[in-house]
């Protein structure tokens, strides 16, 4: 009898550990806006390929940038992805003042496993007035924004009690990226549920040694002549999994090799990185976007 009880106890313990250790799969990709004059790499020629890459990865969360919202169906990338992925929920907002047209930071999530919190989600703009749609600090620049949500894990349709925040953004580069990093880190720090871990991803338009990227990892940077320290530090999942990798370019201009490391997936503790890779898949010598998608598999 004792042997049977011990076996049952071990089996139950193993089952709990197995459930708790189910990995979380994440993808970030700049999809290249559909209205670009890209010739043979136009949106109509590559959209099915890109959708296949996303679907085949069976990701828990997908963050896409430059995702066009447009009243013309042939250009509306948000609607296209939603139609191709009925098992996913979608959160987005055009970065422009009016929501009917423009580029969006789209978050997709696997509805079977995750439920978005109705009261803790939204979009804010990288500007001096983050709550005003379409706002920007530099009047000559394009508006940039961050879309975020708190997600509750589900098991057999019921909440497990586990939660995670997801942030998706697209920095403008240069000093504007410094301002974006500063605002994003401040917003992460003051999130409603401070004990819940976060994922922050996107096309950050910055190299690995740039001030915004180092700032997000917990290092100070100089902005407006003043040294500022981040409120917390995040972990670059790609470097956590591939500390010595040298071929790290993600912007590829529809070519076989990446030129600049522009795309990142960051996490906060206690999330752990299981693996991360740059997806360089091609089909008939064509790439799904002018950025290689980047993948991370993380553990609770």
What's the confidence (pLDDT) of residue 258? 83
Of 220, 209, 203, 225, give the one whose Cα is nearest residue 145. 203
Lowest-confidence region among 58-67, 187-196, 251-260: 251-260
Q: How far apart are alpha carbons 206 and 266 in whole angstroms?
A: 14
pLDDT tens, position by position, 250-298? 999 999 888 889 999 999 999 999 999 999 999 988 999 999 999 999 9
What's the confidence (pLDDT) of residue 78? 98
Q: Are strands 158-170 and 145-155 parallel, antiparallel or unpaired?
A: antiparallel
Lowest-confidence region among 15-19, 25-29, 183-187: 15-19
pLDDT at residue 17 tops 70: no
What's the confidence (pLDDT) of residue 40? 96
pLDDT at residue 18 tops 50: no
**pLDDT, the chain, mean:** 93
CA distance to 13, 51, 264, per residue, from 199 (Å): 29, 22, 10
CA distance to 32, 125, 146, 153, 275, per residue, from 98 (Å): 21, 13, 16, 32, 39
Q: Is 214 helix (H, G, I), strand (E, B) or coil?
A: helix
- Eight-state DSSP code of residue 221: E
Q: How far apart are alpha carbons 195 and 198 in whole angstroms?
A: 9
Of 131, 71, 124, give the one whose Cα is nearest residue 93. 124
Mean pLDDT across the stretch 230-239? Answer: 98
What's the confidence (pLDDT) of residue 138? 83
Please state the pTM of the whole predicted model.
0.93
Q: How confident is the model at residue 20 (pLDDT cuts 50, 70, 90)?
A: low
Q: Read off the tokens for 290.
A: 């002018």
Q: How many CB atoms lie within 10 A of CB 197?
A: 16
pLDDT tens, position by position, 23-58? 999 999 999 999 999 999 999 999 999 999 999 999
Q: Read off the tokens for 295.
A: 């993948």
What's the confidence (pLDDT) of residue 257? 86
Mean pLDDT across the stretch 152-168? Answer: 97
Q: Is 183 helix (H, G, I), strand (E, B) or coil?
A: helix
pLDDT tens, position by position, 137-151? 888 889 999 999 999
What's the confidence (pLDDT) of residue 141? 86
Q: What is the third-level CATH fold of 23-299?
A: Deoxyribonuclease I; Chain A (3.60.10)
What's the confidence (pLDDT) of residue 16? 44
- Eight-state DSSP code of residue 37: -
213 within 8 A of 204, measured Cβ to Cβ: yes
pLDDT at residue 8 tops 50: no
């Amino acid at each position: 009898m004792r042997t049977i009880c011990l076996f049952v106890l071990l089996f139950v313990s193993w089952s709990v550990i197995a459930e708790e250790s189910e990995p979380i799969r994440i993808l970030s990709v700049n999809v290249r806006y559909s209205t670009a004059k890209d010739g043979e790499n136009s949106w109509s020629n590559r959209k099915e390929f890109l959708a296949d890459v996303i679907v085949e990865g069976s990701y828990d969360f997908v963050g896409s940038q430059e995702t066009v919202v447009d009243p013309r169906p042939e250009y509306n990338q948000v609607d296209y992805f939603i139609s191709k992925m009925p098992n996913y929920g979608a959160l987005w907002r055009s970065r422009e003042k009016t929501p009917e047209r423009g580029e969006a930071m789209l978050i997709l999530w696997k509805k079977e496993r995750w439920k978005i919190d109705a009261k803790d989600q939204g979009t804010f703009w990288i500007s001096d007035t983050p709550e005003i749609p379409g706002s920007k600090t530099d009047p000559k620049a394009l508006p940039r924004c961050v879309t975020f949500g708190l997600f509750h894990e589900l098991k057999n349709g019921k909440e497990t009690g586990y939660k995670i925040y997801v942030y998706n953004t697209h920095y403008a580069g240069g000093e504007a990226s410094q301002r974006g990093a500063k605002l994003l880190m401040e917003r992460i720090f003051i999130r409603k549920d401070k004990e819940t871990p976060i994922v922050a991803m996107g096309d950050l338009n910055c190299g690995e040694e740039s001030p915004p990227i180092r700032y997000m990892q917990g290092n100070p940077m100089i902005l407006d002549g003043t040294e500022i320290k981040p409120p917390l530090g995040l972990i670059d999942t790609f470097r956590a999994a591939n500390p010595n990798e040298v071929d790290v370019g993600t912007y590829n201009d529809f070519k076989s090799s990446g030129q600049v490391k522009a795309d990142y997936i960051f996490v906060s503790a206690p999330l752990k990185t299981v693996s991360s890779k740059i997806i360089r898949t091609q089909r008939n010598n064509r790439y799904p976007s002018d950025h290689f998608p980047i993948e991370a598999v993380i553990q609770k």
